[in-house]
Amino acid sequence: MIQQWFDLSGRVALVTGAGANGGNGHAIARALAEAGADLFIGDIDEEGAKETAREIQARDHQSVAFRCDNGNPDDIVAMFAELDRVYGRIDILVNNVSIGHRSRPEDLSLADWQKVIRVNLDGTFLCSQQAGRRMIRQGRGGSIVNISSIAGSSALGRGNFVYSVTKGGINQLTRELAVEWAPYKIRVNAIQPAQILTPALKRLFQDPQLDAEKTRKRMLTGIPLDRFGEPADIAKATLFLVSDAADFITGHLLPVDGGSLALNAGGSKVWPKNE
C-alpha cells in the first residue's frame, strides 16, 4: 500500500528550471521520474534541460526538454502547447524557477524590481494558470507545488528585498489557488527551503564581496539541525506533496529548513551557559 501512495505511474509532471545543474529542479525532476511519472523539463538553459531529459531517459523513463524563459509569457504559452502536443495531459506542476537580485532597497532600480517580479511572480502565476486550466478541463484533479523559500515568511536582509517579496507573494498565491481550485481536486502547496547546497548558494559563497566562511557560519547559526540542505531534501518533500500520500493536504506551506523558521530571527540555538 505504501508503494501505491507514492507511485506516480501514468501521470505527467512539468518541472520548471529543471536543467541538469545540480539544483533543486534537477533533483525534483529525477525523483518524480523515479516514482514513475513522465517528465516535461522546462529551463531557460536549453542544453541543461536536454541533459536532464537524457538522464531520465537513460533510466528508461519518458522525458522531454523545452527551452522556456519564465520571464516571457509567450515562452510559457509555447511550453504548454508543446506539452499538449507530446503528452496531451498534465497531472503535476512544480514551479521551481526563481531568480534574485541583491541590492539595498534604497538603491534597487524599478527595472531590476520588475525583472524579478516578472520571472518569479508572473512566471509562477502564468504556469499555474496554464496548468490549472488543463487540470480543470481534464476533470481528474492534479497537484501543484511551488518552490518558495523561508524568505516568504521571514525577512532575510542582506539585499534580498525583492526576492523575499516575490516569495511572500508565492505563499499567498499558493493559498488562494488551493481554495479556488479545491472544487476541482487540484491541490496547491508550497515548500519553503532554507539554504540548500545548489549552484546558486555555491555562487554566493564565491562572491568576493562576502567572507565565505563567515557567511556559512552565520547561516548555520540559523539552522538548528546544523547543516545546509541538499537538493534531495527538496525532492523528497516535493514527491510527498505531489503524491497520493498527501491527498488531504492543500494550501500548506512546508518548511524544509532544518528548523530555521521554528527558530525565528530573534532566537538562538545556543543556550547562554554554553556560549
Ligand X SMILES: NC(=O)c1ccc[n+]([C@@H]2O[C@H](COP(=O)([O-])OP(=O)(O)OC[C@H]3O[C@@H](n4cnc5c(N)ncnc54)[C@H](O)[C@@H]3O)[C@@H](O)[C@H]2O)c1
- List residues binding ligand X (CB under 6 A): 17, 19, 21, 23-25, 43-45, 48, 68-71, 96-99, 119, 147, 149, 193, 195-196, 198-201
Q: Is 163 a catalytic site residue?
A: yes
Question: Which of 66, 80, 161, 163 is labelled catalytic?
Answer: 163
Q: For the CB of residue 82, give the shortest distance to ligand X in the complex, in Å.
A: 14
* Nearer Cβ to ligand X (149/189): 149
CB 85 within 8 Å of CB 92: no
CB 39 within 8 Å of CB 25: no
CB 193 within 8 Å of CB 222: no
* Nearer Cβ to ligand X (68/241): 68
Angle at 265 between CA 260 and CA 267, to 5 degrees: 85
**Strand pairing category for 142-147 and 92-95:** parallel
Q: For the CB of residue 39, give the shortest distance to ligand X in the complex, in Å.
A: 14
* Nearer Cβ to ligand X (43/91): 43
CB atoms within 10 A of CB 160: 18
Q: For the CB of residue 161, give the shortest distance to ligand X in the complex, in Å.
A: 14
Residue nearest to ligand X (CB): 23
259: left (phi over 0), alpha (psi -120 to 50) or beta: left
Minimal CA–CA distance to 274: which of 218, 212, 221?
221
* Nearer Cβ to ligand X (7/45): 45
What does the DSSP 8-state code read for residue 196?
B
What's the 3-state SS for 112-136? Answer: HHHHHHHHHHHHHHHHHHHHHHHHH
Q: Active-site residues: which are they?
A: 163
